Amino acid sequence: MIYDHRTYTCRPGTIKKHMKLYEEHGWDVQCRHLGNPVIYAATETGDVNSYVHVWVYEDAADRASKRAAMQADPDWQAYLAKSAEAGYLVKQENKILTPVSFFKG
């Protein structure tokens, strides 16, 4: 099992607009390919212009396969174009996490 932990930062004052754009054009297609995330959440304290989501995969091959299918989907490509045009995002950080031996979650 691996976890893909992603943190995105929006330009100040645009996170609600970005979330609305994603909800309307990105959420369904992303879940169609990746399944439901472990969490998808806006930051409440600290950098309030950021949000986090975590997706779980069987292994790196499963992640690569699912993400490739999503990238090839015209609906996802349309969302990415809308997101780029809006220009709300300024930063993205990805981390691949592996559970420690004693974690049974």
CA atoms within 13 A on the CB side of 46: 7
Sign of torsion over alpha carbons 61, 63, 64, 69? positive
- CATH number of 2-97, picked from 3.40.50.300, 3.40.50.360, 3.30.70.100, 3.20.20.70: 3.30.70.100
Q: Kindly list the domain boundaries of the chain, sorted by start residue.
A: 2-97
Q: List, for residues 84-96, the tens digit of each pLDDT value.
A: 999 999 999 999 9
Task: Quickly count: other Cβ atoms within 10 Å of residue 84's Cβ.
Answer: 10
CA distance 23 to 18: 9
Entry pTM: 0.90
Q: List, for residues 16-36, the tens digit of each pLDDT value.
A: 999 999 999 999 999 999 999
Q: List, for residues 44-67, the tens digit of each pLDDT value.
A: 999 999 999 999 999 999 999 999
Residue 104, pLDDT score: 81
Q: Running DSSP on this structure, what letter comes out for residue 33? A: H
CA atoms within 13 A on the CB side of 87: 1
Residue 29, pLDDT score: 98
Q: What is the mean pLDDT of residues 68-82?
A: 98
